[in-house]
Amino acid sequence: MSATFNVTKFADYFTVSDVQRKVHMPVPVIDLDKSKSKNRIINYYLDQLGVLGPLPDIESKDPRIKPESYSVAVKLIQEFDQLERQTRAKKGAVLVFLPGIREIEELFNMLTERERASELKWWIRPLHSSITVEEQECVFKPPPKDCRKIILSTNIAESSITVPDIVYVIDFCLTKHLVCDPKTNFTSLQLSWASKTNCIQRAGRSGRVAEGRVYRLVPEIFYENVLIEDCLPEIQRAPLEQVVLQTKILDMGPPKNILGLALDPPNLDNIEQTILVLKEAGGLLLDREDAPDPEDGHITFLGRVMARLPLDIRISRMIVLGYIFSCLEECIIMGAAMSLKNMFSCPFLQRMNAYISKLTWADGSCSDMFCFLNAYKVYEEARRTGRFKRSVNLGERNWANCFFIQLNTMKDLKSLVDELKTRLKNLGIEEILGHDRVHWAEEELPLVLKVVIAGAYYPNYFVRGASGGQIDEQEAVKQVMGRDPYSTVYLSNFPMNQPGELYAQSIKRVLNVCAPKMQVFFDGSSKVYVQFPRVIKEDSDDRNMFAAIPGKVSLSVYKAVKLRQMNTRLAIHLLTPSEAERRAKMMGLVDKRERMLSLVATAKTPRSLTKGGADPPSKEELIKRALKPMLPGIGDSFIAITISNPIDPGHFWAQYSDDRGSLQRIMHCLNAQNVRSLVPLSGRPRVGQLLAAPYTDSDHTILYYRARVDSITLTPSGNSVEVFFIDYGNTEHVKESALRDFDQSLFDDGEFGIMGIPAQAMECVLCEIRPSLMANPRGHWTQRAINEFEKMVSNKSFYGKVYSVVHSVVSMQLITMAASTKNTVNINDWLVLKNHAERAEESYLSKVNHDLRQQHMGLDDEQSRAMHDQQQLSESSLEFNPALSDPDPPNREECPITVNLRGPHSPLEMRIYGQTLVGEERDLFIDPNSVNSVLLDTDPQDPHERLLVAATVEENSSSTGLILRNTTLMPNIHGFPALMALLFAPRAEIRVNDTGTKYIGALCGLGYDIDTDMPLFPEHDMEVRFDVEINIQDLQEINMLRFWMSNATSLDEGETALIGNSINIVKCQHKIRDFLLISVPVKEAKCRLCQVVVSSAQSLRLHLISAQHRDREDTLKKDQGQTPVLPEELEQRNLLYPNPVVEEPPAYNGVHQETQRVEEYQLCPQGPIEPSHVTGVSEPRVHPVRHQSVTLFILALNQVVEVGPRREHGEFPEHFAPRAYRRAHHTHVIVLLEAGEEPLLDQELGPTRESGGSVLETVIQQKRIYRDAVGFVQSYRQEL
């Protein structure tokens, strides 16, 4: 390892001053004349390589590699063979310096194509920090015989490693530097021209074993006059958070004074920006001596932790929040993993497999941090139990290679975790032990960890909401021609003059990495549609994890979109149009319209068959009919069913209860002893073929059932066949030798025999519900829910209230009779009441089918049958059918035309937008190695915002977009983005509508300067829109939670660690746990009298005093003498006032107010939580120190607010201040006096409402505020 630096600069900095002689004595410099190489190194420049072809124009303001530069490099490497033939030298290795991984990929592809097209023998090895250690070690190995080693490297080979056999160096004279933007504090790897020092260092890589040649691909005059001598010092371009914190630990004055003494002092703007970032993260107090100081601030306890840990400041913040939220161990592991080199390997040629492996490690969490946590836990468990030593084929190294783990990084992670625990213990932060510790259940912990992640990485929030990024589900269905958008992708650029069906197999081959089975469709345009089978659950591995994410989108769709992101070339070789048309006609291929007409002739169901005069259907038609279940007709509202195969509470297979005779007949014919109904197979089974397969019942009886072949696995001991039992809905694996075919008698007996009977099992889902995200943030049903559902449906008959039938799946409400009360039980509602499920909208196609059913309720039998036949035809033409086969494609030699398809694209691809000012107008790119690199909308019918949190946000090299790394997609809990912003923002101002009756959003950030009314950190201010109802109770709970978070790390004056504070932290942890588990807002309530559905308890209260409700109430009392009945579930939760019909609407912020303050919190020991002062408001008298925090905090909770600006317009986007905080002139204030005194109204209140109104109305509103404040203070003091 070597380095080059400016010796004179060091000597001048350490100059010794002689005060008496008044002279400066420079330190001596010892020059060691040590030549690095005994061989000569010759430098060449771009203007000397004109014989190789056109040369690129190099521009000083445009640092990039142009296509001509790549071509020059490829031709230059080719010429090395001719050069060595003349000198009879041994083939020397080539080292090419490139600025990044994208440039490495580009040159790698060009070299590979040139090698294939010629007789050259090249051994091309990439060298980049993101590839595996094994791939990096290949550069030190000798190449295969007669091959030239070519290393494509970034500046990692400049000084970090030495490859001894390098003879040739090709230098593009480019590099990437980590630069911190002083305005936004975003870091980025900026592409720039390398310094001369860098170029000299790179040239020194050659000439170790022979005469070296260095080719700089810039003109010599450009090198001499444009390239700078030395690169900019890191302290002047990199983030300074750790440096500033270390200066605060020294306590020797403001950071700018200390850093001004550095060899290369940083920019003052960078220091001020760093101070703001530290205040936002909680490392420094927001104010000092009641006045904001942009150049300094008191260090907090959290700041001391940040300074003591060798981590990024936000990782340290996550660890402290993990301590507060009782998940310290998990946060230490995730934080340590993010501070090291990526533990997951991504081999250069196995990026798809690496992506699938990481999805497996994510285990449905949609979080890169959960990947680190799961991988570490599995590794530690295997190491602790000795599994690696016991296994013959799965030692540590093989296990790591199999699951794309960097073993060295994993071992380093173990060491770092242990070191962090030791350092934290010295600060008083360690896992609480004993019976008093807070323990999270397995299904609770993921949500808690995501809350901690949201808090640690505020304000790196990115959302998809109704205002941007929302997927139009109707448009998504149109884009895939009515097919299921959750399992269909499309490609473009297919020639319209070619018969697409001829090349369906070729398209399947280029997409075979996405799924083993798929169907390809064409519509005569340039689009190609590819539909994958819907997979309930991927095959799990020995870690009981599976590669999937929450939602209904097929994993194959994720793989297909990832294929496009990897820039995979999808080349299809085509015949000439005339030859293709001739061959298509010869093969009998028809276009889509003719295929649909042929489908009409064969898709008729038994209900539409006539019994007289009709020719009996053929064997093939009967098999097609048997494979299709009898779906509810367009006029069938209720069906009697029995559940044959429950998969989970929202998904099951069912049989008609009133058609048990058909099932008994099938069983009798297939298993009768005196009837030879089954025969051995005459050949190999085919995918999609209908056969008879054995199944062992619970009483160990082996019987045969009708089954469809889904897949065939070749094994040495005998082929294993996956079959689907069409009459029961379950899937099993059986041996090929156990399969049987049907005798001809089953097709001839009676009315077409049993083979004319449709499949008896139909696939069903419960409508308008989904798994509760509060119970499981992954969006999967909990094991408890599955067990209770199976117990509920066991051996019972049900009625299904049909909502829709889409893609042969029946969506319904499941209804049964309670055994004890004989009352009907709606299973959908029962799952919601038990908190296993939550309400959800149906998909667009489901709602369309539901509306169609509602419109045809009054049809007669003949019309209903016609509509039913049309529905069956539509279903059969759009659903996935594994039995369909495609013709063999033409040979490669016959195809003179090559077309590159574009895509694949999914109509569900989601766009996200930044919430901060600096991020809202930027293009966003998710790190390609992230589990969220493919971001699809799993709930396009749901307009509520989805939150994505990024641990690291960087600018791209052009500063036009942002790159998000280590991302976490939060669960689709309505209102979650707004709650996280209110919970973790340093300060927030709540916005209300024009009438002052509803909170509509918040402005979150550091706040404003009380002297200038200007924002302190405008770049990180964020406008948060409320897409759910948030009321005063919600804000009170948020403030309470903020208080306990701050109290957990509070210290007395002079203390620097939490040692001896275990009693307080245990209390705070329990309080936080109670708030998280109990403070769950009601998603939906219903007034039984008016049949009005509302979204919260407060909305129900407002409805109960509305004219609509009172009119219905008066009418009911007059006609029937009844009183309205409240929902039982709301009574159980005690969420309504004692008298539900209240006399007045609940309090909102007073007549004049437009904002409700969410008070500042600091994870620090520096005294009370102080609200910013409001001009003209008398100061409250409070108790000393300990009670000061509590009293001031209660003061902030109860309408002591800063009033936001009054705007002229009532629309929501214009209600926000234009990125500025302003104080209003009139404010309602409650003043809490000493203990024992009653709270009083401030006598210096402002005038009446600006919009008019009497003084009496204002006094009534003030009394309402007073009443709420007194009640809350009393309950809070009792709790303390």
What type of residue sits at position 281?
Answer: A
- Distance in angstroms (rounded) separating the CA atoms of residues 850 and 667: 35
Residue 627: CB atoms within 10 A of its CB come to 19
In angstroms and rounded to an integer, the radius of gyration of the C-alpha atoms of the chain is: 36
Query: Could you tell me if 1151 and 1010 lie in one domain?
Result: yes
| End-of-domain residue from the set 885, 910, 940 | 885
Residue 376, pLDDT above cutoff 80: yes
Average pLDDT, the chain: 75
pLDDT at 210: 72
Distance, in Å, from the CA atom of 158 to the CA atom of 169, rounded to the nearest integer, reads 11
Average pLDDT over residues 619-648: 84
pLDDT at 1127 exceeding the cut of 60: no
Same domain, 180 and 70: yes
> Are the CB atoms for 455 and 448 separated by under 8 Å?
no
Clarify whether residues 987 and 1001 are in a common domain. yes
Who contacts 543 (Cβ-Cβ below 8 Å, separation ≥6)?
Answer: 360, 374, 378
Check pLDDT > 60 for residue 1131.
no
Amino acid 544: pLDDT = 40
User: Quick one: average pLDDT of 942-962?
Assistant: 86
1031 has a pLDDT exceeding 70: yes
Q: How far is CA 304 from CA 244, 278, 301, 1083, in A?
A: 11, 11, 5, 41
Evaluate if residue 978 carries a pLDDT over 80.
Answer: yes
What tokens were used for 1083?
């998603």
What is the pLDDT at residue 1146? Answer: 31
CA 611 to chain centre: 57
Which of 870, 885, 900 is the last residue before a domain boundary?
885
In the prediction, which pLDDT does 820 show?
64
The pair phi, psi for residue 914, each rounded to 5°, is -75, 145
Q: Is residue 80 part of a domain?
A: yes
Structure tokens at 855: 């419109």
Domain match, 1125 and 1153 both: no
Query: What would the pLDDT profile of 72-81 be if each residue is shown by its tens digit?
Result: 999 898 888 8
User: CB atoms < 10 A from the CB of 304, how many?
Assistant: 21
Look at residue 380 and tell me if it is in a domain: no
Question: Residues 665-673: what's their mean pLDDT?
Answer: 80
Identify whether 997 is part of a domain: yes
SS (H, E, C) 1155-1220: CCEECCCCCCCCCCCCCCCCCCCCCCCCCCHHHHHHHHHHHHHCCCCCCCCCCCCCCHHHHCCCCC
Residue 432: φ, ψ to 5° = -75, 130
3-state secondary structure of 798: strand
Q: Are the C-beta atoms of residues 520 and 529 closer than 8 Å to each other? A: yes
Could you write out the DSSP letters of every residue in 263-280? SSPPPHHHHHHHHHHHHH
CATH of the domain at 822: 2.40.50.90
Q: List phi, psi (to 5°) of 822.
A: 65, 15
**Amino acid at position 710, single letter:** D
Assigned domain for 722 exists: no
Inter-residue contact 447 to 325 (CB < 8 Å): no
Higher-confidence position of 954 and 158: 954
Going from the C-alpha of 432 to that of each of 324, 421, 429, 784, 1127, the distances in angstroms are: 11, 13, 9, 28, 42
Q: Which of 254-263, 301-310, 689-698, 1233-1242 has the lowest mean pLDDT?
A: 1233-1242
**Residue 617 binned pLDDT confidence (cut-offs 50, 70, 90):** low
Q: Nearest Cα to 930, choosing from 902, 914, 951, 960?
A: 951
Q: How far apart are CA 261 and CA 1004, in angstroms?
A: 36
- Whole-number Å distance between alpha carbons of 1216 and 692: 68
pLDDT for 116 equals: 78
Q: Sort 448 into a burial class: Cβ within 10 Å, 0-12 / 13-18 / 19+.
A: buried
Same domain, 1043 and 1076: yes
Least confident interval from 119-133, 486-500, 581-595, 1058-1072: 581-595
Q: What is the pLDDT of residue 451?
A: 94
Q: Is 350 exposed, middle or buried (0-12, 13-18, 19+ CB in 10 A)?
A: middle
Q: Render pLDDT for 925-942 as a digit per residue (tens, 0 to 9).
A: 999 999 999 999 888 888
Residues 842, 828 share a domain: yes
Quick one: which H or E segment has residue 813? Answer: strand 809-817
Q: Does 140 share its domain with 200?
A: yes
Stretch among 244-258, 894-908, 1262-1276 having the lowest mean pLDDT? 1262-1276
Task: Output the pLDDT for position 3.
Answer: 57
Dihedral pair phi/psi, residue 328, rounded to 5° = -65, -45
Taking a C-beta distance cutoff of 8 angstroms, is the pair 259, 250 a contact? no
3 state DSSP class of 695 = strand
Domain co-membership, 817 together with 834 = yes
Burial tier of 1200 (Cβ tally within 10 Å: 0-12, 13-18, 19+): buried
1126 and 1195 part of one domain: no
pLDDT confidence bin for 1072, thresholds 50/70/90 = confident
Q: What is the CATH number of the domain that holds 171?
A: 3.40.50.300
Reported confidence tier of residue 323, pLDDT bands at 50, 70, 90? very high
Q: Say how many Å lie between the first and final Cα of the chain, rounded.
A: 62
Q: pLDDT by residue (tens digit) across 911-922?
A: 888 888 888 878
Task: Tell me the pLDDT tens digit for each residue of 651-661.
Answer: 999 999 887 77
Amino acid at 987: R
What are the backbone dihedrals phi and psi of residue 19, each rounded to the nearest 5 degrees, phi first?
-65, -40
- Top pLDDT among 619 and 844 is at 844
Instruction: Give the residue with greater pLDDT, 171 vs 718.
Output: 171
User: Which one has a higher pLDDT value, 921 or 646?
Assistant: 646
Residues 890 and 574: their CA atoms lie apart, in Å, by 8
* DSSP code string of 420-484: HHHHHHHTT-----STTS----TTTHHHHHHHHHHHHTTT-EEEEBTTBB---HHHHHHHTTTS-
Strand partners, 641: 656, 798
Kind of pairing between the strands at 212-216 and 166-171: parallel
Burial class (CB in 10 A: 0-12, 13-18, 19+), 575: buried
Verify cis geometry, omega within 30 degrees of 0, for the bond prior to 771: no
More confidently predicted of 116 and 63: 63
Res 374: pLDDT = 92
Asked if the structure places residue 555 within a domain, the reply is: no
Q: Is residue 715 part of a domain?
A: no
Expressed as residue numbers, the domain containing 172 is: 41-232
Burial letters 694-731, b for 16+ CB under 10 A, else e:
bbeeeeeeeebbbbbbbeeeeeeeebebbbbbbbbbbe
The most confident of the ranges 149-153, 229-233, 742-746 is 149-153
Share of the chain above pLDDT 90, in %: 14
The Cα 368–Cα 345 span in angstroms is 14
Query: Does residue 915 lie in a domain region?
Result: no
Distance CA 577, CA 581 (A): 6
Q: Quick one: 138 and 206 in the same domain? A: yes
- Interval 1030-1041 mean pLDDT: 85
Q: How confident is the model at residue 34 (pLDDT cuts 50, 70, 90)?
A: low
177 and 210 assigned to the same domain: yes
The total of structural domains in the chain comes to 4
**1219 burial type by CB count under 10 A (0-12 exposed, 13-18 middle, 19+ buried):** middle
Residue 770 lies in a domain: yes
| pLDDT at res. 652 | 92
Peptide bond into 1239 cis (omega under 30): no
The mean per-residue pLDDT over the stretch 380-407 comes to 81
Residues 86 and 159 in one domain: yes
How confident is the model over 515-572, as pLDDT tens digits?
Answer: 888 889 888 889 999 999 876 444 444 434 455 666 788 889 999 999 999 888 899 9
Final residue of a structural domain among 838, 858, 885: 885
